[in-house]
């Protein structure tokens, strides 16, 4: 099908686009950006009404709960939430039930994704068999089946020796290793940041050293093995300083932060608010400012949602017994845009960290408004207010601390490979 999107404000920092224009789409591909040839006769014409036309957003971490935890959410419900949020590609970590440690599990998720909203679902394979941290998974077979990288998620690995072997194996097959810098022995049974707030609450804490100690080992092994490493969900300012030095030394590393770590701190759990129970924990104001600074300086490459939908009961127990995580797909873009209004990043920097930067980390030809690329698009009205509430929430998980907050910016439509998968007021002509 030939599609024309007119009256848009094209915005793509990767292409230097920030101007009014139109795009033409042939089937699943962009064939014109800016000026559309006079002989292009569209079968479908959408009026963007002056809204921002962006590359589709790419989320580096979204737990879709299939297979194994469909009582929390499903691929169908969560890809619908992603589509409504302008997200066209999501990456599923391997800590499903069972873990994604074989080609059959990747095939299962890929097949189930065909019944979703149309959002691209990409998969990380398990670093170790069953994510048990003791025996390496068959990474070569996982890559051949479509895994974009390998990860241990938040599961511990038995020893630095095994981690070294894993990184050597991954490097030999040109696979990116996605690692969470969290030392399980130092974290123990902690559920909040180790500091005065957690002490007053009487809750076991996770020290900053749990992140920095693990990060030190990872960086040393990355240098030793030459592996390509992506560092997931940073939470401390000290860690960003270590990454900055490692990047200066030429290590092949990238890093991300989840959006809620850029706004919430340890004080948000001071009233035992289980909706703010996350791992890694919310830390100090100084850590939050350090993360923001590292993002602005490019030390942190990308922003992700770290989406973890839960059933209601998962957040109703005493705080240490509640399950960590926030349902976050639908606040990824609103929170990121808030960084613009607060003067932390420019709009171009925010969009880069949601599009081209994660595409580069995943080594996917996505995240740009470029002729010849897939027509993955997001139309954003930046002047319309959005207030998340249970009644306008798409995810099956209602576990978010952001209900009732007012944000600027509403996604009016989302397109994947030329297919319109979400629309609320794009006007067909």
Mean pLDDT of the chain, nearest integer: 96
Q: What is the 3-state secondary structure (H, E, C) of the chain?
A: CEEEEEEEEEEEHHHCEEEEEEEEEECCEEEEEECCCCCCCCCEEEECCCCEEEECEEECCECCCCCCCCCCCCHHHHHHHHHHCCEEEEEECCCCCCCCCCHHHHHHHHHHHCCCCCCEEEECEECEHHHCCCCECCHHHHHHHCCCEEECCCCCCCCHHHHHHHHHHHHHCCCEEEECCCCHHHHCCCCEECCHHHHHHCCCEECCHHHHHHHHHHHHHHHHHCCCEEECCCCCHHHHHHHHHHHHCCCCEEEEEEHHHHCCCHHHHCCCCHHHCCCCCCCCHHHHHHHHHHHHHCCCCEEECCECCCCHHHHCCCHHHCCCCECCHHHHHHHHHHHHHCCCCCHHHHHHHHCHHHHHHHCCCCCCCCCCCECCEEEEEEEEEECCCHHHCCCCCCCCCCCCCCEEEEEEEEEECCEEEEECCCEEC
Domains held by the chain: number: 2
| Boundary of a domain, candidates 309, 341, 362 | 362
Residues 99 and 221 in one domain: yes
- Per-residue pLDDT for 392 more than 90? yes
**Residue 113 included in any domain:** yes
What does the pLDDT average to over 368-388? 95
**Cα 146 to Cα 140: distance, rounded to the nearest angstrom:** 10
Residue 425: the pLDDT is 59
pLDDT tens figures, 152-180: 999 999 999 999 999 999 999 999 999 99
**Cα 52 to Cα 12: distance, rounded to the nearest angstrom:** 10
Residues 135 and 21 in one domain: no
**Cα 37 to Cα 204: distance, rounded to the nearest angstrom:** 64
| Boundary of a domain, candidates 362, 389, 417 | 362
* CATH number of the domain encompassing residue 378: 2.30.40.10
What does the pLDDT average to over 9-17? 96
**Cα 410 to Cα 333: distance, rounded to the nearest angstrom:** 9
> Across the beta sheet with 149-151, what order do the strands follow?
125-126, 149-151, 176-179, 229-231, 253-258, 302-304
Which of 306, 313, 376, 425 is catalytic? The answer is 306
Residue 418: the pLDDT is 95
Residues 19 and 100 in one domain: no
**CA dihedral over 239, 241, 242, 246, signed as positive or negative:** positive
Residues 390 and 358 in one domain: no
Cis status, amide bond into 272, omega within 30 of 0: no
Residues 69 and 15 in one domain: no
Long-range contacts of 109-116 (CB under 8 A, 24+ apart): 109/64, 109/66, 109/67, 109/75, 110/146, 112/66, 112/67, 112/75, 113/75, 113/79, 115/75, 115/76, 116/75, 116/76, 116/78, 116/79, 116/80
Residues 253 and 394 in one domain: no
Residues 73 and 33 in one domain: no
| Boundary of a domain, candidates 310, 343, 362 | 362
Residues 316 and 383 in one domain: no
Greater model confidence, 233 or 42: 233
Domain encompassing residue 252: 56-362
Which value, in Å, is the radius of gyration of the alpha carbons in the chain?
Answer: 21
**Residue 45 included in any domain:** yes
- Per-residue pLDDT for 428 more than 80? no
What does the pLDDT average to over 4-30? 96
Band of pLDDT at residue 424, cut at 50, 70 and 90: confident
- Per-residue pLDDT for 243 more than 90? yes
Model confidence, pTM: 0.96
**Residue 70 included in any domain:** yes
Least confident of 133-142, 319-328, 418-427: 418-427
- Per-residue pLDDT for 261 more than 60? yes
pLDDT tens figures, 105-114: 999 999 999 9
pLDDT tens figures, 202-214: 999 999 999 999 9
Residues 340 and 379 in one domain: no
Residue 38: the pLDDT is 87
Residue 226: the pLDDT is 97
**Residue 158 included in any domain:** yes
Residues 344 and 419 in one domain: no
Cis status, amide bond into 98, omega within 30 of 0: yes
Q: Is 287 a catalytic residue?
A: no
**Residue 367 included in any domain:** no
How many Å is the maximal CA-CA distance in the chain? 70
- Per-residue pLDDT for 199 more than 50? yes
Residues 336 and 421 in one domain: no
**Residue 368 included in any domain:** no
Residues 389 and 413 in one domain: yes
* CATH number of the domain encompassing residue 208: 3.20.20.140
**Residue 161 included in any domain:** yes
CB atoms within 10 A of CB 220: 14
pLDDT tens figures, 46-85: 999 999 999 999 999 999 999 999 999 999 999 999 999 9
**CA dihedral over 306, 151, 292, 359, signed as positive or negative:** negative
Band of pLDDT at residue 427, cut at 50, 70 and 90: very low
- Per-residue pLDDT for 296 more than 80? yes
Residue 84: the pLDDT is 96
What are residue 380's DSSP bridge partners? 52, 411
């Amino acid at each position: 099908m030939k599609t024309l999107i007119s009256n848009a404000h094209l915005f793509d920092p990767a292409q230097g686009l920030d101007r009014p224009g139109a795009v033409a789409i042939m089937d699943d591909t962009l064939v014109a950006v800016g000026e559309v040839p006079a002989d292009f006769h569209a079968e479908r014409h959408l009026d963007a009404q002056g809204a921002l036309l962006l590359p589709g957003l790419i989320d580096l971490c979204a737990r879709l709960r299939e297979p194994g935890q469909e009582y929390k959410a499903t691929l169908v419900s969560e890809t619908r939430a992603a589509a409504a949020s302008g997200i066209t590609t999501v990456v599923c970590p391997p800590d499903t039930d069972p873990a994604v440690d074989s080609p059959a599990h990747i095939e299962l998720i890929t097949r189930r994704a065909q019944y979703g909203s149309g959002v691209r679902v990409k998969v990380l394979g398990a670093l170790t068999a069953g994510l048990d941290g003791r025996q390496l998974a068959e990474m070569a077979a996982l890559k051949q089946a479509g895994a974009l990288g390998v990860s241990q998620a938040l599961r511990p690995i038995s020893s630095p020796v095994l981690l070294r072997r894993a990184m050597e194996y991954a490097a030999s097959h040109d696979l990116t290793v996605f690692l969470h810098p969290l030392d399980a022995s130092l974290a123990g049974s902690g559920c909040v940041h180790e500091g005065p707030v957690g002490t007053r609450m009487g809750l076991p804490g996770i020290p900053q050293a749990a992140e920095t100690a693990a990060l030190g080992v990872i960086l040393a092994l990355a240098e030793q093995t030459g592996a390509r490493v992506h560092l997931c969900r940073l939470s401390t300012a000290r860690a960003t300083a270590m990454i900055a030095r490692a990047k200066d030394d030429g290590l092949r590393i990238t890093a991300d932060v989840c959006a809620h770590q850029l706004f919430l701190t340890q004080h948000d759990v001071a009233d035992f608010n289980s909706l703010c129970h996350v791992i890694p924990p919310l830390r100090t104001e100084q850590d939050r400012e350090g993360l923001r600074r590292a993002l602005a300086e490019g030390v942190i490459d990308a922003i992700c949602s770290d989406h973890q939908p839960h059933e209601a009961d998962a957040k109703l127990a005493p705080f240490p017994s509640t399950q960590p995580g926030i349902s976050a797909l639908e606040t990824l873009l609103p929170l990121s845009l808030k960084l613009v209004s607060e003067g932390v990043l420019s709009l171009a920097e925010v969009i880069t960290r949601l599009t081209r930067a994660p595409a580069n980390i995943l080594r996917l030809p996505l995240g740009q408004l470029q002729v010849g690329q897939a027509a993955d698009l997001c139309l954003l009205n930046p002047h319309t207010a959005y207030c998340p509430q249970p009644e306008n929430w798409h995810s099956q998980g209602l576990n978010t601390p952001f209900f009732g907050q007012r944000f600027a910016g509403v996604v009016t439509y989302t397109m994947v490979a030329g297919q319109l998968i979400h629309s609320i007021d794009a006007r067909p002509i």
